[in-house]
Amino acid sequence: MKAAVFNGKHLRIEEIAEPLITETQVLIKVKAVGICGTDIAIYKGHLPTPTPLILGHEFSGEIVKIGEKIDLSWLNKRVTGEINANIDFDCFYCQKAMYTQCISRKALGIDINGALAEYIALDSYLLHEIPNEISFEEATFIEPLAAAYQTFIMMPVDKDDKIIAIFGLGKLGLLLVQVALLKGLEVIVIDDSDIKLKMAIKWGAHHSINHLKCKGIPEEIKKITKNIGADIVVDTSGNPDSLINIVNSCRTRGKIHIKSTHGIDVSMNLTDIVVREITIYSSRCGPFELAIQGLESGKIQVKRLISNIYNLPEIEEAFNSYERNKDQIKTIIKF
């Protein structure tokens, strides 16, 4: 089969053997894979991984083969899969049902081979069926949308939380805008792309700030919030420089939530966080069931987040396209 293999420097299409399945696995014919910030970080060398490695963890496909212990009804089903494989169901975290934090876990496309290939073998406990209302392309958003929902699972919104500021309008930021609006929050978006800012406003965000065109983000946020600051500030920008702005944009006893900082080191003075009693949250993978419900009900719209679709042989071009166009949101590889 053909697979996009990262060798530590380049992504190359290679002809490799089709994966074999165990009796508790299924073989999925991959239909679509979304390129994620994590994939880009690996490609750019910011996130070290074992190599050679097949990248890709936001995927959808069809089951074409099942192991002996798998229920026959799974055959031919349209599915997506969770990213955390190799779960031991035995460790401290698994005993508390925190499977995404299992000490044995290996992330698809990061620690072990992922989905940018014609076929992927997957443990059946990772499978989720895709309802017919959701296309294969839309289904590549289930994993990141689950991560957006997880933000508010790890950080419950309480009655004093009215205004959220979302730094960064990539795919995750724009998914978070939609989830935050469903939570009834007033949404401020911050990015350097006027096109993305306009999109967010069109879809319901209340205020936008282009940080290249203002004197200071905290000052702009204070103007909107009667000089208090946002109740919740979420960073999806992965930009080390934005952290100081995030702290300064958050109100006293407010909440900061870090979503994406791929391999970034930040040095900062923590005094302001302590003195103003700001709580810092973080979150990662979330419940796929919630994300599937969000898409199936139409409450979350993702088709509009697809910027372009490439075929597998154009993989390196697809990865490089992010460098050239800051207005780009989501690139999908179609099989």
Closest separation in Å from C-beta 93 to Zn ion: 5
Question: Is 125 an interacting residue with respect to Zn ion (CB under 5 A)?
Answer: no
Is 65 or 284 the residue whose CB approaches Zn ion more closely? 284
Judge contact between 144 and 175, C-beta under 8 A: yes
CA distance 32 to 79: 11
Q: How far is CA 151 from CA 36, 51, 69, 212, in A?
A: 17, 31, 35, 27
Closest separation in Å from C-beta 101 to Zn ion: 8
Judge contact between 278 and 254, C-beta under 8 A: yes
Burial of residue 164 (CB within 10 Å: 0-12, 13-18, 19+) is: buried
Q: What is the dihedral of CA 46, 47, 52, 57, to 10 degrees?
A: -120
The stretch among 16-24, 90-98, 133-141, 146-154 that binds Zn ion (CB under 5 A) is 90-98
CA 146 to chain centroid: 8
Closest separation in Å from C-beta 152 to Zn ion: 25
Question: Is 273 an interacting residue with respect to Zn ion (CB under 5 A)?
Answer: no
Closest separation in Å from C-beta 236 to Zn ion: 28
Residue from 16, 91, 182, 244 in contact with Zn ion (CB under 5 A): 91
The stretch among 27-35, 78-86, 92-100, 237-245 that binds Zn ion (CB under 5 A) is 92-100
Closest separation in Å from C-beta 70 to Zn ion: 22
The stretch among 98-106, 128-136, 141-149, 165-173 that binds Zn ion (CB under 5 A) is 98-106
**Which residues are within 8 A (CB) of 314 and not within 5 positions of it... i.e. 6 or more apart?**
none
Is 103 or 195 the residue whose CB approaches Zn ion more closely? 103
Binding mask 48-87 for Zn ion (x = CB under 5 A): ----------------------------------------
Nearest CA-CA partner of 160 in 217, 247, 228, 258: 228
CA distance 254 to 238: 20
Judge contact between 146 and 287, C-beta under 8 A: yes
Residues in contact with Zn ion, counted by CB under 5 A, come to a total of 4
Q: How far is CA 99 from CA 65, 70, 182, 289, in A?
A: 26, 21, 27, 15
Three-class secondary structure of residue 8 per DSSP: coil
The stretch among 102-110, 271-279, 294-302, 309-317 that binds Zn ion (CB under 5 A) is 102-110
The DSSP code sequence of 178-241 is HHHHHTT-EEEEEES-HHHHHHHHHTT-SEEEETTSSS-HHHHHHHHTTTS-EEEEEE-S--TT
Q: What is the dihedral of CA 45, 60, 29, 132, to 10 degrees?
A: -170
The stretch among 58-66, 99-107, 180-188, 307-315 that binds Zn ion (CB under 5 A) is 99-107
CA distance 151 to 172: 11
Q: What residues between 214 and 243 interact with Zn ion by CB under 5 A?
A: none
Residue from 102, 115, 188, 234 in contact with Zn ion (CB under 5 A): 102
Closest separation in Å from C-beta 95 to Zn ion: 8
Three-class secondary structure of residue 119 per DSSP: strand
Closest separation in Å from C-beta 87 to Zn ion: 6
Question: Is 94 an interacting residue with respect to Zn ion (CB under 5 A)?
Answer: yes
Question: Is 157 an interacting residue with respect to Zn ion (CB under 5 A)?
Answer: no
Is 124 or 237 the residue whose CB approaches Zn ion more closely? 124
The stretch among 94-102, 134-142, 271-279, 285-293 that binds Zn ion (CB under 5 A) is 94-102
Is 66 or 85 the residue whose CB approaches Zn ion more closely? 85
Question: Is 88 an interacting residue with respect to Zn ion (CB under 5 A)?
Answer: yes
Binding site for Zn ion (CB under 5 A): 88, 91, 94, 102
